[in-house]
Structure 1
C-alpha cells in the first residue's frame, strides 16, 4: 500500500489506514549530491500531521506526538509480522500462559529503568494496566479486558482473565508502562505530559513547533552505548519530502514516494534504499447483503477477471505484489499459509475460468456485455474517498479490467464520512480496502470475517457465516501453534472457495533510508524489523540500536 500510516504500527491504527490503499505521495525532484547527517546524528521524517508539532507526550492519548512511543515510552514486547509473528522481547523478556490461557505471567527485564534513574518495576506495569481500565482510556496500542493484575515481585506480573486470552497477546505486549509515582492522580484523557519520563533510549532535548530533537540516554538499560546519539525529527511536507531525501537533509523516512525506485534509489543506488515490506493486503469487498454479490459464482467470476499484476505496478513498480488468494502474503505470512495454498496466486486475469463462474449464475456474453437472466448487464459501483485521487485512479483501472469481462463498473467519489457510513450501513455495492496481519492469523481473519464485525473493522462486506464464527472461536481460544495452523487452514479454504472478499495486492510499510553514514538497516534479506520510522516501539528502536557508523568508528 502506498498510503502508509505515520503513527505507531498497531492493529487499531493500521486497519483504518490500510483501507486508504495506494495513496501515492511525493513529487519529482532533481537529484543532488547527498550530504548525509552528522557523525553521530540522524534526521528522520516521522510524518507529523499538519505544519506544526503538537506537544503531547501522553502515551494514552490518541493524539500523542510522534516520538512518544519507542523513543520515550516502550512496550512490554512485540512481534515481527515480517517473520510470521516472531516474538520480540523488550521490557518483558518472556511470558507464560497457564490455567488454559486464563492467566499470563510476564517476566520483566530487571535492568529496565526510567529516564530519571529509578527502577521500572512490576508495580508500574500493574498501575498502568489498572490506570487504563479505571480511566476508560483507549490508547492506540489497544485495551484488553481482564479480571486482575498483580505484582508477584519486583519483576513479575500476573494478569488473570475470565476466559482464554491467547488472542489478546499482541495487545498485552503493546502496553506502554508509565512510572506510577508520576502518573497517580493525573487525568489520562487530558494530561499532555510536556516533560516525559520514560524507559526509552532517548529523552526530549528540545521541542519546537517545527522540530523535535531527541538525545540518547547514557544510562539506557537495554544497551549501554546507543550508537545514534541525536535524532532530529523535523516537520516535512509531502511535497518537499523527495527533495530532502535526495539532498540528504533527511536520512530516514516513512513516506510513500511515487515511483520510488526511479525517483530515489536510482539517484544513488549504493546509498539510497527503499523497502516497502508487506504488513497486510488490499481487497475488493463485496456487499453480501444484496444481489448479485450474495452469489459465490459472481464473486469468483469477478476475482478471476482481475489483473493483479497491473494493480501492483500502479504508481510504484516493483514495490508491491499480487496477493495470495487466501489473503495471506506468502513471504511474510508463509509460516501460516497451508501447503495446499502455497501457490494459490492469480497474477493475471483468467477470462475463460471467470466466464464459467458467471455462467453458473445464468450470465452470458452478448455483444461484449455480460448479461444476466433478467436481460440486464452485470453492473455495479465502487465507492471511494474523494480526497484519495490515486485510489480513485486505481479503482478506475480495476473498472477497466472488469469491463473486458463484460461488466460495467462505475467509480463514485464521496467524502470520507459518507464512505464510512455507507460501509457501516451496507449501502454500497463494492469498496476497496485493506486488512492487516498480526502475530497469528487470528486478528486478520477475525477482522475480515467475523459476523459481529459486519460493517466495521475489515468486514466491510457484511459477511456472515456461523461456520466461520465457530472456527474463529476455536482459533481465539487456542494457544497451540499446530492447532492455530490447522484452524487457519480451514479459514484459508473459506477465502479461496467462498471468496468473501477478493484479495488484490499486498500493502507495504513504506521506508526510505540512506546508508552513506549509517549501516545496519533492515532489508528483505535481514527483516529484523519493520523499516518505517513510525512502525512502533520495538521496530523503530530495534533499528536505532542496530545502526552503526558507515566509517566503522
Structure 2
C-alpha cells in the first residue's frame, strides 16, 4: 500500500507510497529556474526531487534515501497505473498464470543496459535473489509471496508460497538491476550507486549538490517514444519557484491553484488532482468505546464529509464514501447493494440513536455515558500536516455540536507513525488504499495479519480490525482467478467496511499534478488518465514515454 499523508507548512505534500516532498521555505532562485521552462536543447524543468537542503549522490534503487529519479532510470517488469490497476509491460512483455501458485514472465529481448551490456532474464533472477539474500532491500515484500524462481529460456518462472493471484501485481513492480555490476557490490544496502547503469529512458548527466540533470538514454529500447532530451532537477523547488519560474512539471499542493499556477500562464499551465487514496479516521478497536460498532456509527453519522473535504483541501477533492473503494477509480467494483453507493450523509438524530445503543445519551449539551461522564475522544494527526489538521478541526467542531469533547494531538511524524504501529492512540487520521488493486487495498485494511504491532511502518490495519469470516473472504479473493467471483467477494468486503466501520472515511486524498503544455504535450488528465500525475515511483515512466514536443 501507499500511504497518504498530509501537507505540511514546509512541504507541498507527501502522498501515497513515499514522500514526494517539495520544500516551501524561502530560498534563492537557482540558475536553472532563471532559464524559463524548457530551453532550446529540449530540456524540461521538473520539481521532482528535493535537497535537504542539498542533494546526496545516491541512486541506489533499493535505498529509502535514493534520489527520486532513480525510478526514471531503473525499470520494473511492468508499470502499474495506480489509478485503475492496469499494467503496462516494460522489462517483461507480459505474464501468464497457469495456476494460482505460478506466474511466468516473458522477458523482453533486445534490451541493453546503459553501458551497452545485454539485459537478460538472468538479471531478473539475480535481482530477486539479491533481495532475498539481503531482506532489507525487499522494500515491497516480494519474498512474502515467492517460494522460488527459475529462468527458463526467455521466461522467469515464479513459484508462489501459496495460491496468490494478486502477487503478480507486486512482482511487477520490482526494479531490476544489472548482475554484472551488482554481483561485485560488497554491501548493496549502503551502496550509493553514484554512476547508475540502468535500462530506462534516462541516464545521469551532470550532478552538483544544488542541481542535477538526466539525459536521454540513446540506447533505450523504446527511445523513439522519449521526446524530452534532458531533465533538469533543482534541489530547491519552492511554491514561488514552481509558479514563477517556468517549470514544466511539478507535484505540489498550491493554495488557490487557479489564482497562482494557472494565472502565471493561463494558456499553458494546467493541473490535475485525481484521487490517489482515502483519508480516514481510524478508531483503535482494542479500546472502549471505539470497539463498539454503535459508537463508531454515531461518529460517522455526525460528520458532514463535504465540509470536512472542503475545509481540508480547499475544494480540490471529494468527500469519500464508506465502501472502502477509491472512487471513481474503482467504480467497476462498487457493490450495487450499498445505499447511495456507500455515501453517508450527516444525520444528527440518527447519530444520537446510534450513540444511545452504545450507552450514551444527551444531558444538556453534553453526550454522556451511564455514569454521567462526557464522551471524550482524542484524535491524533502528525505535526505539520496542516491540511489534515484543518479537516480535524472541522471534525472537532461537528462532534462538539452533539456533545462530544474532542481533543487533537499532533506528535512529530516519526512519533505519529510509531504510535500507529504500536496501537498507542484512541483515534487517528491516516490514509489507506491507492495501490490500484482492490484486493491489496482491502487486504491491508482488513486482514487480521496486519493488526499486530507494526513499529514505524506506514501501512497496515492500524485499527486492529479482526474477523475470521473477513479473513476467509480475503483468502478466497487471493486464490481466485475469476473476476466475477472476485467482484462478488469484493462486494461482501465493501459491506463489511460499510457496516463495521473499521475506518471512518472522510475524503479522497489528491495527487497534486501541475504541468505546462507549452513545450510538451500528452500529459495525463481526467480525459486521458493513462497514469497518475505524480513525479515519484515508476509511473513517471508512463508519462516520459508518452509526451511529445509541442507543435
TM-score by length of 2: 0.90
- Report SS of the residue matched to 2:410: strand
2:530 match: 528
Equivalent residues of 1:91, 1:108 under 8 A apart: yes
1:501 positional shift: 1.1
Instruction: State the alpha-carbon separation in 2 of the partners of residues 341 and 507 from structure 1.
Output: 22
* 1:405 aligns to 2:430 (yes or no): no
Equivalent residues of 1:137, 1:188 under 8 A apart: no
Equivalent residues of 1:265, 1:272 under 8 A apart: yes
1:422 positional shift: 3.1
1:58 positional shift: 1.3
1:275 match: 272
Task: Give a deviation string over 1:207-246, Cα, whole Å, max 9, x none.
Answer: 1111111111222102335210011111124xx2x22222
1:35 positional shift: 4.2
2:30 match: none
1:135 positional shift: 2.4
Alignment of structure 1 residues 317-396 onto 2, 5 Å: 317-341=314-338, 343-346=340-343, 348-396=345-393
- Report SS of the residue matched to 1:414: coil
Instruction: State the alpha-carbon separation in 1 of the partners of residues 320 and 26 from structure 2.
Output: 29
Task: Give a deviation string over 1:337-370, Cα, whole Å, max 9, x none.
Answer: 2222383354652212212212222322232222
Equivalent residues of 1:58, 1:191 under 8 A apart: yes
Change (3 A) 1:407 1:480: same
Equivalent residues of 1:4, 1:255 under 8 A apart: no
1:274 positional shift: 1.7
Task: Give a deviation string over 1:140-180, Cα, whole Å, max 9, x none.
Answer: 44432423222211x21111123223232222011111111
1:253 positional shift: 0.7
Alignment of structure 1 residues 63-82 onto 2, 5 Å: 63-69=65-71, 71-82=72-83
Change (3 A) 1:3 1:139: farther
- Report SS of the residue matched to 1:324: coil
Equivalent residues of 2:111, 2:199 under 8 A apart: yes
Equivalent residues of 2:284, 2:426 under 8 A apart: yes
Task: Give a deviation string over 1:20-42, Cα, whole Å, max 9, x none.
Answer: xxx9985999xx99942224110
Q: Which structure 2 residue ranges, 5 or more long, are not aligned?
A: 28-32
Please, which moves more after superposition, 353-362 or 336-345?
336-345
1:292 positional shift: 1.1
Equivalent residues of 2:47, 2:242 under 8 A apart: no
Q: Which structure 1 residue ranges, 5 or more long, are not aligned?
A: none
Change (3 A) 1:26 1:308: farther
Alignment of structure 1 residues 43-192 onto 2, 5 Å: 43-69=45-71, 71-82=72-83, 84-98=84-98, 100-145=99-144, 146-153=146-153, 155-186=154-185, 187-192=187-192
Change (3 A) 1:180 1:347: same
1:433 match: 430
Equivalent residues of 2:49, 2:69 under 8 A apart: no
Once superposed, which parts of structure 1, at least 4 consecutive aligned residues long, lie more than 6 Å away? 4-7
- Report SS of the residue matched to 2:136: coil
2:517 match: 515
Instruction: State the alpha-carbon separation in 2 of the partners of residues 63 and 15 from structure 1.
Output: 14
Alignment of structure 1 residues 537-548 onto 2, 5 Å: 537=538, 539-548=539-548
Equivalent residues of 2:6, 2:386 under 8 A apart: no
Task: Give a deviation string over 1:310-355, Cα, whole Å, max 9, x none.
Answer: 1211254332111121121221111222222383354652212212
Residues paired across the two proteins, number? 533
Instruction: State the alpha-carbon separation in 1 of the partners of residues 438 and 19 from structure 2.
Output: 19
- Report SS of the residue matched to 1:212: strand
Instruction: State the alpha-carbon separation in 1 of the partners of residues 205 and 433 from structure 2.
Output: 35
Equivalent residues of 1:437, 1:443 under 8 A apart: no
Task: Give a deviation string over 1:439-463, Cα, whole Å, max 9, x none.
Answer: 4212211211122212543322122
Instruction: State the alpha-carbon separation in 2 of the partners of residues 73 and 362 from structure 1.
Output: 57
1:2 positional shift: 7.1
- Report SS of the residue matched to 1:531: coil
Instruction: State the alpha-carbon separation in 1 of the partners of residues 369 and 423 from structure 2.
Output: 23
- Report SS of the residue matched to 1:191: coil
Equivalent residues of 2:335, 2:341 under 8 A apart: no
Instruction: State the alpha-carbon separation in 1 of the partners of residues 425 and 386 from structure 2.
Output: 20
- Report SS of the residue matched to 2:507: strand
Instruction: State the alpha-carbon separation in 1 of the partners of residues 273 and 108 from structure 2.
Output: 32
1:385 positional shift: 2.2
Q: CA RMSD in A?
A: 2.8
